[in-house]
Chain A
Amino acid sequence: MNQNLGRGTLLIAYLVLAIAAVIALFPLSLMIISSLKKSTEIVANPLALPSALQWANFSRAWTDAQLGRSLLNSAETTGVAVILICSTCSMAAYALARGTGPRLRWISAYLLGTTTLPIQLYLFPLYFIFAHLGLIDNVFALSIVYTAVFSPFAIFLLRTYFLAIPKELEEAAIIDGATRWQVFRQVLLPLVSPGILTVAIISGLNIWNEFLISSTFLQSHDQQTAVVRFYTLGGQYSSDWGEIMAAAIIIVAPAVGFFLLMQRRFIQGMAAGSVKG
């Protein structure tokens, strides 16, 4: 096909793809360059390379934004939420994949409906309920909120994995005397583990990056996640941009590293959820 479309077409294709790549990478390279410059250098010429590498930006960002503490909060929230999502949603996905009947169809419709609702629809009352119950600044309570928000996505994605397993496999095990729970735990879960991993990666990354919900429910400085802590770093104009970009890199690095490591599964998972619907 490459040959048939002609060398000219191929050349233009690469040119356009390269321009798009430059557009995607340009702001990110500005972030990296600026993180190693003095703020006076940034103001003098934002595009120039640093004259001397300012590693001090990173150490200042680390202490000013209390990144050690807030990265730990992010990791804790993400970890607890991912465990809750994977465990509760794989069970629900199994039930929706194997059951039939109008009740289960209504549950599917309800879950689909919740994905189109604005967070504002339930955020305000939830905030007052949590405040009343003393659940503000509680990492576990925040993880429960994330579990609810990401459960429709996780359930629908995992359901497709359960549907791909032939029913005969479970029926055979049931006839041999296994309980429904044993079949689920010992036969099916290992088979859908690639799906569970995909759900963990996608929801984990989204929770690590999430801003609105975590800034609403974690308010004290000691409890804030890295992203929220980053937001409070520096005002709009009286800012040390070198330091802010250094903090940005520290927060982004785990996500990007993780993505590069898992890119194939990540991209496939995203595509599987959207292609064909």
Chain B
Amino acid sequence: MSTAVVRPSVIRLHSRPFAVRFANSAVPFLLPALTINAAIILVPGLLTVAMAFCEWDGASAPSFVGLDNFRIIFADPVFFSALFNNIKWTLIFLTIPIAMGLGAGSLLVVVKRGRNFFQVVYFLPVIIATVVVARVWQGMIYNPESGLVGWLKVYGFNLADPLTQPPTALYAVASVDLWHWWGFLAVIFFAAFRQVDAAQIEAAVIDGAGFIQLLRFVLIPAIRPTITLMMIMTIIWSFLAFDFVYVLTQGGPAYASEVLSTLSYRYAFYNYTMGPAAAVALVISFFGLIATFFYVRIQQREAIR
């Protein structure tokens, strides 16, 4: 800093070519991270794209088959039920956890005492391993022998394990993920609400706004960019959903809770058909890229504003 004061002209001379000169010296700084990223994601990713047009069992030599793999997956009724399950999953996660997160996040703005305690409690499920969360719900809640569902028998409710019933399996899995997930949104939305101009909130309250009006006319409009971002991420993540389905039901019973990612995994590691597995992975990526496109577009519009 002292140099800047003593020799301001020199600084100005150097500051223009600074970025230009850096374009070359940036390479060694980027190289390690990009090499690892390319070796693990880009190259295998491109191989998957190629594999989507080949027939391969994982052992013998692959052979080119054109669009056959896409014909195979489009002829598979499970593909469409899995796609439909992803859409249901997206709709569930676009509404319930976002509403819960906005509700809890805004109530944390209202209260002053205990904010930190509630934040930590809501965030606890987020940091617990998926597999552990899944087992706790499977054994202690859904299980008709050892869980809450079994205990309800004492009171005359004879319920089966919702994970084993085709009509409820997907919702039972989604409930577990929802419990694991909503606290993250509560914390994110609370952080965003805290950046809302305090004077604006005060003014609304002095004008006689109740909590609901405050939420609707001040708080939510103020954090719209954060809500939009979270909704786009929700869409992306909903098409990537894998862990809870795989651990709790493996897509069953009778493919009732199958989603695209578990279907892809089934094609690859159960049926040893890499071609259709790759084709499904491409379909998932396609949805992700559409969402990314909208994300970038919205970011640009925000930047212009």
Contact = CB atoms under 8 A, between A and B. Distances in A.
Contacts of A270: 184, 187-188
Given A31-B140, A117-B285, A21 B41 contact: no
Interface stretch (A37-45, A49-57, A191-199): A37-45
A128 B129 contact: no
B141 A27 contact: yes
B229 interface: yes
Contact of A114 (B30, B41, B51): B41
Contacts of A10: 110-111
Interface in B106-161: 107-108, 110-112, 114, 116, 118-125, 127-133, 135-141, 143, 145-148, 150-151
A157 interface: no
B230 interface: yes
Chain B interface category by residue count:
35 or more
By secondary structure, the B interface counts as helix
Interface string A1-43: 1101100011001101100110111011011001000010011
Interface in B1-60: 1-4, 7, 10-11, 14-15, 18-19, 22-23, 25-27, 29-30, 32-34, 36-37, 39-45, 47-48, 51, 58
Contact of A274 (B39, B125, B229): B229
B60 to A, nearest CB: 12
A83 B151 CA distance: 47
Interface of A: 1-2, 4-5, 9-10, 13-14, 16-17, 20-21, 23-25, 27-28, 30-31, 34, 39, 42-43, 45-47, 84, 87-89, 91-92, 94-96, 98-101, 103-104, 107, 109-126, 128-129, 144-145, 147-149, 151-152, 155, 167-169, 171-172, 174-176, 180, 184, 205, 208-209, 211-212, 227-228, 230-231, 236-237, 239, 241, 244-245, 248, 251-252, 255-256, 259-260, 263, 266-268, 270-271, 274-277
A4 B29 contact: no
B247 interface: yes
A171 B33 contact: no
Given A94-B29, A124-B278, A151 B37 contact: yes
Interface string B269-305: 0000010011011101100110110001001001000
B284 A120 contact: yes
Please indicate which of the listed interface residues B4, B26, B183, B247 has the most CB atoms of chain A within 10 Å of its own CB: B26
Contact of B4 (A17, A100, A168, A259): A168
Contacts, number: 338
Contact of A27 (B137, B265, B282): B137
Contact of A176 (B3, B114, B116): B3
B48 A125 contact: yes
A118 B240 contact: yes
Contacts of B137: 27
Contacts of A111: 37
A227 B41 contact: no
A236 B282 CA distance: 33
B172 interface: no
B22 A99 contact: yes
